[in-house]
Structure 1
Amino acid sequence: MQTILNSDQEELLKRTRDTLGRLRDVLADLKAPFEDRDALAESIRQLDELFLLVVAGEFNAGKSSFINALLGTPLLAEGVTPTTSQIYLLKFGPESKQKPIEKGVWEQTAPVELLRSINIVDTPGTNAILREHETLTTEFIPRSDLVLFVSSADRPFTESERQFLDKIRQWGKKIVIVINKIDILTDDAEVNQILDFVRQAARDLLGNVPAIFAISSKRAQRAKAGDPRLWSSSGLEPLETFIRDTLDDNGRFRLKLLNPLGVGHKLVKKQLDLTDDDLESLRRDTTLLEDVDRQMSLYHNDMQRNFESRISEINNLLFDMEMRGRNFFDEYMRLFRMPDLMRKEHIRQRFEQDVV
């Protein structure tokens, strides 16, 4: 982490890195999916980088205009169509310039004071026309330390936003919800009505109510550009105060550690769920085999009893035949029956009749 840490923080950072390193080795041994191991490795690597704040939301929610208002300069293109087709990583630099750093990701530098302590990511809309935009966004979320989710006041908390927020929740990310474009609403009553709706929807989805701010990035930009009358009604000041208080040195350090720990927790839970599924499958197979073994044992016992009964019958038949044979020979071996012994065919017929 590019900040000065005290000895306790250094030790905690070391233990966190060691723990996550062991988890990475375990995932490799378990042959976990590459994208899971890569997400964990990336989160470990980013422990040594600046705090990463990701701005996400649907296309036309005003993400780029919000970032411009936050930075106080028109750094990013704005429009009513999906103008952000790439992910932009905003960093501090002596001049404003762009360069590609990986597929689908551009680095934008600017001499803005806020960017000295944090990096900001502008993402394509979660409902953008090009599906690869959404893929880029969802793959970048695991890298974030804090997610600012921007929703539009004219369609707050849509179904696609719910689905995307649920993915963010599964990664264990801290979420702040920003309702943009409140300038299109008629009065504060409408603003409060939307805030109440979003609070309830967030509670139902996330299990808690994150920090929620209602702003007008349009008014904020105009206020910072020279019309201070619009500053109060822009709603940006409370959000800037929240960011400043939350992302002080201790806050950034805490969230920086929570990022990889959240990723690790998600991956551990995923492996435990898979293990539970395997154990349940083994239990079903074991039950089936035990049932088959029980049926085989019953069949064997039935066969054994039937076999013993048949053997007994055969023994009785053989014994009876033996007795009849003895009687037959006793009868024909008498001297007065000797003439009959010379009649072979007669003897054979009598033997079959009397003995067999």
Structure 2
Amino acid sequence: MEKPLAASRLLGPEREQTLARVRAVLGDLRAALAKLRAEPDDDAAAKRAAAQLDDLFLLVVVGEFNSGKSAFVNALLGQTVLEEGVTPTTSRIQALSYGPEVVRVAEGSGLDRITAPVAILEDLRLVDTPGTNAIDREHEAITQHFIPQADLVLFVTSADRPFTESERSFLAGIREWGKKVVLVINKIDILEKAEEVERVKSFVRESFEALLGVEPEIFAVAARPAFRAKQAGDDEKLAASGFPALEAYLRSTLDAQERFRLKLLNLIGVATRLSSKYAEVVERRLEVLEGDIAEVEAIKGQLDVYEKDLREGFALRMSDIDLILHQFEGRGHEFFEE
């Protein structure tokens, strides 16, 4: 697999110019967010999106706790790096990167940073999340922190419980960020017939299309058999696990041109979501302002009517006073004439 994936080193001056324009647009977006007094999390998302241009490709693995995500990641890496079988209440978000040895550093925010001497990690960062059905709100918040940064999302669902309600809800949230999502149906080894696998794939495909409006890339795999086959060097069983097709797809996705495209799509997704959100904010503020203006105009109209009535009343009173003065004047003349 090719070496470093940092976007600033991807192919030629034209791409450097494109990146410069993208950074300028993100700078304008952040300036607009500041004027609108945007939520801190939204400004942070825009800031991270700009910084991520110079980071390694970020692959985020999501799905329910019991979908076999950790087993899937271990099979992808070809060695046991993540623990399997822990409960959702004790699981943590795990961010993997390359290192000469396996080292796990636990951070207080519910995040473990892990390094491992795995070749694929030289070319990307990989994040394994606790699960869409995890009960810990801290885990959920950190997962939501990583989703906007993801260049590619691998969504792992289980063949025995495909496309659950929590998965639908989570995917709807991913949709808001415009992420590229690849669906992985794990545990196909529990299905006895190929026809059953195809039925599950069709169900997941149709459900995904109905939810997100696009046709997804779908791979059906058996993570644990794939891991055992890799350890044993058994190519036949590895092929039967469905893993080679997924790995071939990832290799093609991680070539320089596709990485660059996905990074730009990621930035466009972040910018589009934030722009749409705050366009609605501006629209609501304008509606409130228009309502205030209408109310002021109504009050002004009432004041104008009041002023007119006051002037008419004043003119009438002055007329009465003039009449009284005229009467006094007439009586005065009569008095002196007598």
TM-score tier (shorter):
0.7 to 0.9
Give the aligned partner of residue 243 of structure 2.
Answer: 236
Alpha-carbon distance between aligned partners in 1 of 2:90 and 2:63, rounded to the nearest angstrom? 12
Among residues 13, 17, 38, which one is paired with 2:19 in the alignment? 13
Task: Give yes or no for contact 2:95–2:125 (8 Å, CA) kept in 1.
Answer: yes
**RMSD (CA atoms):** 2.5
Q: CA deviation at 1:64?
A: 0.6
Q: Name the counterpart of 1:341.
A: none
Cα distance in structure 2, aligned partners of 1:234 and 1:82: 26
The one of the two structures with greater contact order (alpha-carbon pairs below 8 A, sep at least 6) is: 2
Alignment partners' CA distance in 1, 2:208 and 2:178: 15
What are the superposed Cα offsets for residues 174-198 of structure 1, whole Å, 9 maximum, x if unpaired? 1112222222334333333333332
Task: Specify which of 168, 179, 185 is matched with residue 179 of structure 1.
Answer: 185
Structure 2 distance, partners of 1:154, 1:312, is 95
Contact 2:104–2:112 (Cα < 8 Å) also in 1: yes
The answer on 1:189 being equivalent to 2:189 is: no
Deviation at 1:4, TM superposition (A): 4.8
Query: How far apart, CA to CA, are the structure 2 residues paired with 1:19 and 1:102?
Result: 34
Aligned runs of 1:216-227 on 2, under 5 Å? Answer: 216-226=222-232, 227=234
Alignment partner, residue 264 of structure 1 = 271
Separation in structure 2 between the aligned mates of residue 230 and residue 288 of structure 1, nearest angstrom: 75
For residues 293 and 60 of structure 2, the distance between their equivalents in structure 1, rounded to whole angstroms, comes to 48
- In structure 1, the partner of 2:290 is 283
Query: Structure 2 matches for 1:90-169, cutoff 5 A?
Result: 90-100=96-106, 103-169=109-175
Q: Is the 8 A contact 1:146 1:174 kept in 2?
A: yes
* Structure 1 residues 329 and 153: alpha-carbon distance in aligned structure 2, compared to 1, 3 A threshold: farther
Unpaired runs of 5+ residues, structure 1, are 334-356
1:328 is displaced (CA, Å) by 5.0
Give the conservation status (yes or no) of the 8 Å contact 1:77–1:84. no
Deviations 1:109-156 (A, max 9, x none): 222222222221111112213221111111111221111111222322
Alpha carbons of 1:110 and 1:84: their partners in 2 closer, same or farther (altered >3 Å)? farther
Give me the whole-angstrom Cα distance separating, in 1, the residues matched to 2:328 and 2:199.
104
Between Structure 1 and Structure 2, how many residues are aligned? Answer: 331
Aligned AA for 2:95?
A: L
Asked if 1 retains the 8 angstrom alpha-carbon contact of 2:89 and 2:136, the reply is no
Q: Does 1:32 align with 2:38?
A: yes
User: Hey, what's the Cα distance between the residues in 1 that align with 2:328 and 2:13?
Assistant: 102
SS of 1:225's equivalent? Answer: helix
Asked whether the equivalents of residues 61 and 155 of structure 2 are also in contact (C-alpha less than 8 Å), the reply is yes
Matches of 2:251 and 2:86 in 1, distance apart? 30
Give the secondary-structure state (helix, strand or coil) at the position aligned to 2:83: coil
CA contact (8 A) 2:10 2:260 kept: no
Distance in 1 of aligned mates of 2:56 and 2:313: 81
Residue from 318, 326, 330 that aligns with 1:323: 330
SS in 2 for 1:77: coil
Paired amino acid for 1:244 = R
Matched, 1:295 2:294: no
In structure 2, what is the equivalent of residue 273 of structure 1?
Answer: 280
Structure possessing the higher radius of gyration over alpha carbons: 1
Give deviations 1:244-276, integer Å, cap 9, x for gaps: 112211111111222233223322222222221
Distance 1:210 1:325 in 2: 105
Instruction: Tell me the CA shift for residue 84 of structure 1.
Output: 6.6
Q: Within 1, Cα distance between the matches of 2:195 and 2:307?
A: 81
Distance (Å, rounded) in 1 between the aligned partners of 2:150 and 2:200: 27
Q: Secondary structure at the match of 2:101?
A: coil
Task: Give the distance between the partners of 1:313 and 1:83, measured in 2 at CA.
Answer: 88
- 1: CA distance between counterparts of 2:201 and 2:310? 76
1:173 maps to a residue whose letter is: K
What SS is found at the alignment partner of 2:272? helix
Work out the CA distance in 2 between the residues paired with 1:203 and 1:99: 39
Residue 338 of structure 1 corresponds to none
| Paired letter, 1:7 | P
Q: Secondary structure at the match of 1:163?
A: helix
Contact residue 89 and residue 134 of structure 2 kept, 8 A: no
Cα distance, 1:200–1:309 mapped onto 2, change above 3 Å: farther
Show structure 1 runs of 4+ deviating over 6 A: none
